[in-house]
Chain A
Amino acid sequence: MSQTVLVITEQRGGVWNRMSFETLAAGQRLAAELGQKTSAAVAGQGIAVLAEGLTAWELDRVYAVEHELLHDYTADGYTAALEQLIRKVQPSFVLFPHTYQVRDLAPKLATRFDQGLISDVVGIRHETGPIFVRQLFQGKLNADVKPLGPAPHFVSIQAGAFNADLAEPGASHVEVFTPAMTASEIRQRPMEPFRESTGAVDLTAAQIIVSLGRGIKEKDNIPIVEALAKALGGELAATRPVCDSGWLPIERQVGSSGQTVSPKVYIAVGISGAIQHLLGMKGSKIIVAINKDANAPIFEVADYGIVGDLFEVVPAMVEALKPALSAGA
């Protein structure tokens, strides 16, 4: 029967995606609650040595899913290989880190088992069985999701939801799993990943960042917020939708698809706080939120907040920053 929680870890070019270890921690905890064992898998070509690294954790087994056709990630190739592994292991739950690769792969894999993917999970609670907590409406609401029907169930874990340092160390061994695959079943032809040349803006070194979101409404309003950045001697940054609209260059984008910053103070102006943005700035020492919606998720991470109209509040901040006129002048 289903006695194993299987964690699918992620590597690219022999380098771990760090979220793999957060997912290991989540898998171990889920297995402990269920009275089951945890196993881990990693897929690729020439990954036996990398897989050895996973034996330092408390795992029943480490599967090295090894095949020359897994050298580069393809949705078709990885689905075919992992489907075979899952049919062999027959786990109760299959856990993934919620990475861009998993978003491409896991829904396809789950469909092979007539399952859905419970994606982007931020917490796991245990009642009569596990309840997976995920966000709705871009973080405005949480939902408790209960898997139904037969195993295996497929779950992906959001970045930062579990602490990798809490993964239990132990000892296990590697089992090489060689899937049956042919080149003709892989329809995607991937090319070398690349970075686009970016401007010289390095937000990661900034101590003060003033960042703007959709609340700015239109490009012509940007100078209002720019004035605050200038008054504070900080850098101007923005959320993805602002950069998508071409209102600010993409080099100023903070979030999972942009830069990850941790300044002394991050002032979020008209930013609702979708998870993709929070992932890029929640390491800031002090977070300030200015937003008209008191329920905006940005207030969940803010140290200081003003619920109000940014078009009134921001100019008032600039005013308050002006040096006081000397008495009697």
Chain B
Amino acid sequence: MKIIVSIKEVPVRDSQLRIAADARWIEDGDLSYEMNEPDAYALEEALQLKEKHGGEVIALCAGMARASQTIREALAKGADRALHIEDEEIGSWDTLGLARLLAKAAGREKPDLILTGLQSDDLGYGQTGVVLAEILGLPHATIVMAAEVLDGKIRVKRELESGWFQNIEMPLPAVLTIQSGINKLRYATLMGIKKAKIKELKRLTAGELGVAGSTTATIERVYFPHKAKQTQLLEGSAREAAAKLIEKLRFEARVI
């Protein structure tokens, strides 16, 4: 089976974020980037399905030129080839426009299955996969915790709220958005990293794909949130702070 995995690069998790001068996004030039974590789980799921059923895994990414590093990582882990929709202004595309870009590139490949993470760690809209499915006219399931390919269809375990789950079946081709923790991530091997250098990484542009941006919403301003509570910060050395905290919990809050 032919599986496309849509991945995104995001600032590494522990990044110290600073707000850009125009206050419409973060200062992103000097940050390090990595594969969005739920997308990494989607990639792993695709690789495991390929190992079971044979076929091909294609990594698809819309991102700036620097995203090629994240794409190479996907290739090093075992994706067979990659499509990079390269755009230095990718941040100005809204979800709908971005999903149209991805749909155009993915649709050409006529995949049996498209996987992506359930949401991104930066914007967190959590809808690219669903919109992609709708544009391509494919059925979808979200927040997937297990996937099993049956004859011409797929059976998935969806996570519901508060510890509930539900199995759903649907015909292939289909789109799934993958929840973190569905599988155990692999590391790229040295051999994999070596091989990734010679794997096909095809660059595409919005112009070639014939997709124009859409503007259904705009970020006017980003800012650090106001604190809901006044936190008493305890200072000093670790030892001093710890001692003060225990005292506060004992005699002020009286909870221990």
Decide: A317 near B167, CB < 8 A? Known: A115-B216, A144-B220. Answer: no
Contacts of A300 in B (CB 8 A): 225, 227-229, 231
Contacts of B94 in A (CB 8 A): 116
Contacts of B158 in A (CB 8 A): 104
Main secondary structure of the interface of A (DSSP, over half): mixed
Please determine whether B124 and A146 come into contact, CB atoms closer than 8 angstroms: no
Please determine whether B130 and A107 come into contact, CB atoms closer than 8 angstroms: yes
| In the assembled complex, B22 has its CB within 8 A of some CB on chain A | no
| In the assembled complex, B188 has its CB within 8 A of some CB on chain A | no
Decide: A265 near B218, CB < 8 A? Known: A190-B168, A306-B242. Answer: no
Partner of B134, one of A103, A112, A135: A112
| In the assembled complex, A36 has its CB within 8 A of some CB on chain B | no
Q: B124, B162, B184 — which one has the most chain A CB atoms within 10 A of its CB?
A: B124
Contacts of A143 in B (CB 8 A): 219-222
Please determine whether A100 and B224 come into contact, CB atoms closer than 8 angstroms: no
User: Interface-forming stretch among B47-55, B194-202, B204-212, B233-241?
Assistant: B233-241
- Looking at the assembled complex, report how far the CB atom of B151 sits from the nearest CB atom of chain A, in whole angstroms: 14
| In the assembled complex, A171 has its CB within 8 A of some CB on chain B | no
| In the assembled complex, B214 has its CB within 8 A of some CB on chain A | yes
- Our count of residue pairs bridging A and B at CB distance below 8 angstroms stands at 260
Contacts of B118 in A (CB 8 A): 103
Please determine whether B127 and A107 come into contact, CB atoms closer than 8 angstroms: yes
Tell me, in angstroms, the Cα distance from A290 to B11 when the chains sit together: 23
Please determine whether B140 and A75 come into contact, CB atoms closer than 8 angstroms: yes
| In the assembled complex, B1 has its CB within 8 A of some CB on chain A | no
User: Interface-forming stretch among B58-66, B68-76, B80-88, B247-255?
Assistant: B247-255
- Looking at the assembled complex, report how far the CB atom of A128 sits from the nearest CB atom of chain B, in whole angstroms: 11
Question: Which range contains the number of B residues in contact with the other chain?
Answer: 35 or more
Decide: A194 near B216, CB < 8 A? Known: A286-B253, A305-B232. Answer: no
One digit per residue, 1 when the CB lies within 8 angstroms of any chain B CB and 0 when it does not, for chain A 253-291 equals: 000111110001100000000000000000001111100
- Looking at the assembled complex, report how far the CB atom of A75 sits from the nearest CB atom of chain B, in whole angstroms: 6
Partner of A145, one of B165, B170, B220, B231: B220
User: Interface-forming stretch among A84-92, A172-180, A238-246?
Assistant: A238-246
Decide: A320 near B243, CB < 8 A? Known: A107-B130, A118-B217, A190-B168. Answer: yes
Please determine whether A111 and B231 come into contact, CB atoms closer than 8 angstroms: no
Contacts of A148 in B (CB 8 A): 215-218
Decide: A139 near B225, CB < 8 A? Known: A190-B168, A265-B256. Answer: yes
Partner of B140, one of A99, A108, A245: A108
* Residue of B with least CB distance to A101: B160
Contacts of B245 in A (CB 8 A): 288, 304, 306, 317, 320
| In the assembled complex, B89 has its CB within 8 A of some CB on chain A | no
* Residue of B with least CB distance to A72: B166
* Residue of A with least CB distance to B241: A306
Please determine whether A193 and B165 come into contact, CB atoms closer than 8 angstroms: yes
- Looking at the assembled complex, report how far the CB atom of A156 sits from the nearest CB atom of chain B, in whole angstroms: 9
| In the assembled complex, A321 has its CB within 8 A of some CB on chain B | yes
| In the assembled complex, B187 has its CB within 8 A of some CB on chain A | no
Tell me, in angstroms, the Cα distance from A104 to B11 when the chains sit together: 26
| In the assembled complex, A126 has its CB within 8 A of some CB on chain B | no
* Residue of A with least CB distance to B248: A304
| In the assembled complex, A119 has its CB within 8 A of some CB on chain B | yes
| In the assembled complex, A220 has its CB within 8 A of some CB on chain B | no
User: Interface-forming stretch among A24-32, A46-54, A63-71, A307-315?
Assistant: A307-315
Tell me, in angstroms, the Cα distance from A114 to B246 when the chains sit together: 55
Partner of B238, one of A75, A104, A309: A309
Decide: A103 near B126, CB < 8 A? Known: A111-B135, A191-B168, A320-B246. Answer: yes
A-B contact pairs, 18 of them (CB 8 A): A75-B142, A103-B118, A104-B130, A104-B140, A116-B127, A134-B124, A141-B222, A144-B222, A146-B220, A191-B167, A196-B165, A303-B229, A304-B232, A306-B238, A306-B242, A313-B238, A319-B242, A320-B245
Closest 9 CB pairs of A and B: A244-B181, A107-B127, A316-B242, A312-B238, A187-B139, A107-B130, A265-B255, A111-B134, A116-B216
Extra contacts, 4 of them, besides A135-B124, A143-B221 (Cβ < 8 A), are A76-B139, A101-B160, A118-B217, A256-B162
